[in-house]
């Protein structure tokens, strides 16, 4: 569910009417934000607080108080004199006292070696219109610290300068790496274009503010949402229960795509993974497959229609030499099928087949370029938002699930709430990520989950695995590769079960 800023304010007013104090909510929010910092900046360094006059500054100061014990050095940039702050943040600033070093220009300060985290406590959800000049100066400084010193910027609730309802950004709006959303997801955070400023979304639950009306047809993927839908394995489960997957992937020059899809399926818990390949590709692919993967040589891809699989994955690195056979499989296969890469291009070239498969269980996972090719057959899409686009391509196709990749991956199925992913980072902008996702989604589909849920789990887990590579390997995000994502899928699945952000 997503809410407007006014709906969130009404929820707060109702809590105050029940006797919940602003001080108690600030404590809870601040402690939650500190947990967000610990997850996304696990090594202590310099924490720079950018503080306005309102209670958002108080949330930041509570978080800072919690983080001091972890070894963080505290710095602050104030938008005015401390006396001008509201009572609660002023009190928290006074309590920290000499632990906070006040700065006149964060960009000019010589911070000790180590991580730098900027905490955006300038504005909350009540702000509207352009930022005041004194806040704009601090927001610009925060952005410079991010680009020039590679500081990690963590916004609280919404990045300052971003409209919480519509996602519009004013001049010098804060560009956050992570937005710690408090209590309820604000609608503007998932609007097109907002992801440039929002970054990774981490929802900080506040039970006292959990009840409100909102857009129930929009779901933002969080562990709290997904783990309740992830089946718990029975003690007497066997490999057949975990699902049999047939993967049609790989061709000369594109062998790695098949390998990545297979590894993704294994790490997502598939019981049996079979890679189906033509005779001339077999000696190229068989030696590089993980030991758990069965590689089966087939004379014609259409033979798969007579084989027993709980799910199929078709497309990564497949090539077009056998297009006629693949199109026939796409048109006739009854098993839930994940359609990616070259198979999507085939559908774009055969729109009659895409129409014919509208009632069959198909999960299509295009990136923006593949989406453009598909849309050539669907006039009238220009000007649509990403959400409206995926919804329009699924509303008359009851079997189709559409996962549109991007910074904020969006997933739609007829009759289901549209889902927005929260995980991942810009380091995932590299080849092979979609191949891994294909295998992961197929694994969940083979375990008899709906394609809608399989897509949501796959998107969240792949993004979280990429994050884990950075934190666990102490690596820069630019160095993550698709094979690193497969290696960290197990940890990501554990994070989902344990309810991390």
Give the torsion sign (CA, 293, 296, 300, 304). negative
Strand pairing of 362-364 and 337-339? parallel
pLDDT of res. 403:
98
First to last CA, the chain: 17
Closest CA to 150 of 104, 193, 111: 111
Instruction: Report CA-CA distances (Å) from 493 to 1, 120, 450, 488.
Output: 23, 30, 18, 9
217 annotated to a ligand binding site: no
| Number of Cβ within a 10 Å radius of residue 477 | 16
| Cα angle value 142/90/46 (rounded, 5°) | 35
121 annotated to a ligand binding site: no
CATH code of 2-216, in short, is 3.40.50.10260
128 annotated to a ligand binding site: yes
257 annotated to a ligand binding site: yes
| The two structure tokens encoding residue 490 | 């197990």
Q: State whether residue 411 is helix, strand or coil.
A: strand
Do residues 465 and 423 touch, judged by C-beta distance below 8 A? no
439 annotated to a ligand binding site: no
Alpha-carbon gap, residue 25 to 151, rounded angstroms: 28
> Exposed e or buried b for every residue in 85-118, given b needs 16+ CB within 10 A?
beebbbebbeebeeebeebeebbebebeeebbbb
Alpha-carbon gap, residue 184 to 2, rounded angstroms: 7
In CATH terms, the fold of domain 228-498 is: 3.40.1190
143 annotated to a ligand binding site: no
| The two structure tokens encoding residue 16 | 């105050």
Domain boundaries, the chain: 2-216, 228-498
108 annotated to a ligand binding site: no
Closest CA to 393 of 407, 413, 373, 421: 413
319 annotated to a ligand binding site: no
pLDDT of res. 478:
97
Bridge partners, 102 (sequence order) = 76
6 annotated to a ligand binding site: no
Q: Is 367 exposed, middle or buried (0-12, 13-18, 19+ CB in 10 A)?
A: middle
434 annotated to a ligand binding site: yes
Give me the long-range contacts of 495-500 (CB less than 8 A, separation at least 24): 495/223, 495/464, 495/468, 496/223, 496/226, 496/227, 496/230, 496/457, 496/460, 496/461, 496/464, 497/223, 497/227, 497/230, 498/223, 499/223, 499/224, 499/227, 500/39, 500/223, 500/464
| DSSP structural state of residue 380 | T
125 annotated to a ligand binding site: yes
349 annotated to a ligand binding site: no
345 annotated to a ligand binding site: no
409 annotated to a ligand binding site: yes
| DSSP structural state of residue 233 | P
56 annotated to a ligand binding site: yes
195 annotated to a ligand binding site: no
Chain centre to alpha carbon of residue 19: 36
Alpha-carbon gap, residue 387 to 410, rounded angstroms: 7
415 annotated to a ligand binding site: no
Alpha-carbon gap, residue 489 to 466, rounded angstroms: 8
pLDDT of res. 9:
93
129 annotated to a ligand binding site: yes
Closest CA to 101 of 48, 44, 149: 48
435 annotated to a ligand binding site: yes
- Sequence-distant (≥ 6) Cβ neighbours of residue 207 within 8 angstroms: none
**pLDDT (tens place) for every residue of the chain, 501 residues total:** 999 999 999 999 999 999 999 999 999 999 999 999 999 999 999 999 999 999 999 999 999 999 999 999 999 999 999 999 999 999 999 999 999 999 999 999 999 999 999 999 999 998 888 999 999 999 999 999 999 999 999 999 999 999 999 999 999 999 999 999 999 999 999 999 999 999 999 999 999 998 778 899 999 999 999 999 999 999 999 999 999 999 999 999 999 999 999 999 999 999 999 999 999 999 999 999 999 999 999 999 999 999 999 999 999 999 999 999 999 999 999 999 999 999 999 999 999 999 889 999 999 999 999 999 999 877 777 789 999 999 999 999 999 999 999 999 999 999 999 999 999 999 999 999 999 999 999 999 999 999 999 999 999 999 999 999 999 999 999 999 999 999 999 999 999 999 999
């Amino acid at each position: 569910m997503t809410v407007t800023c006014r709906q969130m304010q009404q929820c707060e007013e109702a809590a105050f009417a029940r006797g919940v104090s602003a001080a108690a909510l600030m404590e809870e929010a601040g402690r939650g934000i500190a947990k967000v910092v610990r997850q996304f900046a696990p090594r202590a360094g310099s924490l720079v607080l950018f503080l306005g006059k309102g209670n958002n500054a108080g949330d930041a100061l509570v978080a800072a108080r919690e983080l001091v014990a972890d070894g963080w050095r505290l710095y602050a940039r104030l938008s005015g004199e401390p006396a001008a702050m509201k009572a609660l943040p002023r009190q928290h600033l006074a309590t920290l006292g000499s632990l906070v070093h006040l700065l006149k220009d964060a960009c000019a300060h010589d911070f000790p070696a180590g991580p730098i985290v900027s905490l955006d406590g300038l504005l909350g959800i009540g702000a509207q219109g352009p930022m005041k000049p004194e806040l704009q100066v601090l927001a610009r400084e925060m952005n410079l610290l991010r680009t020039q010193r590679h500081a990690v910027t963590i916004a609280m609730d919404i990045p300052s300068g971003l409209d919480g309802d519509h996602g519009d950004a004013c001049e010098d709006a804060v560009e956050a790496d992570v937005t710690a959303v408090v209590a309820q997801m604000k609608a503007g955070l998932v609007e097109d274009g907002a992801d440039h400023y929002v970054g990774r979304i981490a929802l900080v639950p506040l039970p006292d503010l959990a009840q409100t009306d909102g857009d129930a047809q929009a779901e933002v993927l969080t562990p709290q949402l997904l783990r309740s839908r992830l089946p718990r394995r029975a003690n007497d489960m066997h490999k057949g229960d975990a699902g049999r997957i047939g993967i049609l992937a790989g061709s000369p020059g594109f062998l790695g795509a098949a390998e990545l899809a297979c590894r993704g399926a294994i790490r997502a818990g598939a019981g049996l993974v079979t890679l189906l390949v033509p005779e001339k590709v077999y000696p190229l692919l068989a030696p590089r497959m993980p030991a758990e993967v069965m590689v089966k040589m087939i004379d014609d891809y259409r033979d798969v229609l007579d084989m027993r699989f709980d799910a199929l994955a078709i497309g990564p690195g497949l090539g077009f030499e056998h297009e006629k056979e693949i199109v026939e499989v796409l048109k006739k296969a009854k098993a839930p099928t994940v359609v990616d890469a070259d198979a999507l291009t085939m559908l774009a070239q055969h729109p009659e087949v895409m129409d014919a498969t509208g009632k069959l269980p198909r999960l299509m996972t295009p990136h923006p370029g593949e989406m453009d090719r598909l849309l050539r057959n669907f006039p009238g899409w220009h000007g649509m938002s990403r959400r409206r686009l995926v919804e329009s391509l699924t509303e008359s196709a009851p079997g189709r699930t559409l996962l549109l990749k991007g910074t904020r991956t969006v997933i739609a199925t007829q009759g289901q709430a549209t889902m927005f992913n929260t995980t991942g980072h810009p380091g995932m902008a590299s080849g092979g990520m979609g191949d891994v996702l294909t295998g992961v989604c197929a694994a969940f589909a083979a375990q008899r989950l709906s394609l809608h849920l399989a897509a949501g789990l796959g998107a969240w887990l792949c993004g979280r695995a990429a994050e884990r590579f950075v934190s666990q390997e102490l690596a820069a995000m630019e160095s993550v590769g698709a094979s690193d994502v497969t290696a960290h899928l197990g940890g990501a699945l554990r994070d989902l079960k344990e309810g991390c952000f």
